[in-house]
A and B are shown apart, each in its own frame.
Chain A
Amino acid sequence: EDKVVQSPLSLVVHEGDTVTLNCSYEVTNFRSLLWYKQEKKAPTFLFMLTSSGIEKKSGRLSSILDKKELSSILNITATQTGDSAIYLCAVHTDKLIFGTGTRLQVFP
């Protein structure tokens, strides 16, 4: 059965810290891996990583896909309180399979 696992489940840091969120997967027919941020209701798209694009960066956020290790990390540098959210990793096969998410809390 296809599976996506995220760690840690929860993370509490102070503003300015750097965090690394992990996502590992066991799926057949891997097409892409996506990261989403969910603050209140609707998850918002962060990155999509495929075999042809294994590293993405946007401002303080960056993500790397390791196809050999079947995993991805999401890095957030110089965290701010506005980064507090649930971060979701999802793998696209013939459908989108989500991990349970990592809840990040950033305190001033």
Chain B
Amino acid sequence: KAGVTQTPRYLIKTRGQQVTLSCSPISGHRSVSWYQQTPGQGLQFLFEYFSETQRNKGNFPGRFSGRQFSNSRSEMNVSTLELGDSALYLCASSLSRGVGELFFGEGSRLTVL
């Protein structure tokens, strides 16, 4: 059974640009959540999607957005990039909401110059 797949794995952008990251969950998993990981802040919750609807959102500015498609694949977008957005962005999937373990992807490493 394939795991959670995130693309791209690495990317470099400059300030002011925007970026779109993709996440394909484990087959059958309907809940997808996104996390930002930085050395100083650890893993911070961005948002969760279930059945194409955003169910929960963390404390991030509106520049961070996401969506989920009918096949449960999800994308997140960051607009007007800032230096502080440099981080590892992790996607996790689970069968349903609120219970059970999350399965994480390898992450997308974003560097903003």
A92 to chain B, nearest CB (A): 7
B42 partner, pick from A32, A94, A98, beta carbons under 8 A: A98
Complex CA gap A92/B48 in Å reads: 13
Complex CA gap A28/B105 in Å reads: 28
Complex CA gap A42/B35 in Å reads: 11
B90 partner, pick from A42, A90, A92, A94, beta carbons under 8 A: A42
- Which chain A positions have C-beta within 8 A of B33? 95-96
Among the stretches B14-22, B73-81, B94-102, the one at the interface with A is B94-102
- Measured CB to CB, the nearest residue on chain B to A32 is B99
- Measured CB to CB, the nearest residue on chain B to A93 is B98
B52 to chain A, nearest CB (A): 18
Q: Is A97 an interface residue (CB 8 A)?
A: yes
Contact (Cβ within 8 A) B56 A43: no
B104 partner, pick from A43, A94, A97, A100, beta carbons under 8 A: A43
A-B contacts, 27 listed (Cβ < 8 Å): A31-B98, A34-B102, A36-B104, A41-B90, A41-B107, A42-B3, A42-B105, A43-B43, A43-B104, A45-B101, A45-B102, A45-B103, A48-B101, A90-B43, A92-B98, A92-B99, A94-B56, A95-B56, A96-B33, A97-B45, A98-B35, A98-B44, A98-B45, A100-B41, A100-B42, A101-B42, A101-B43
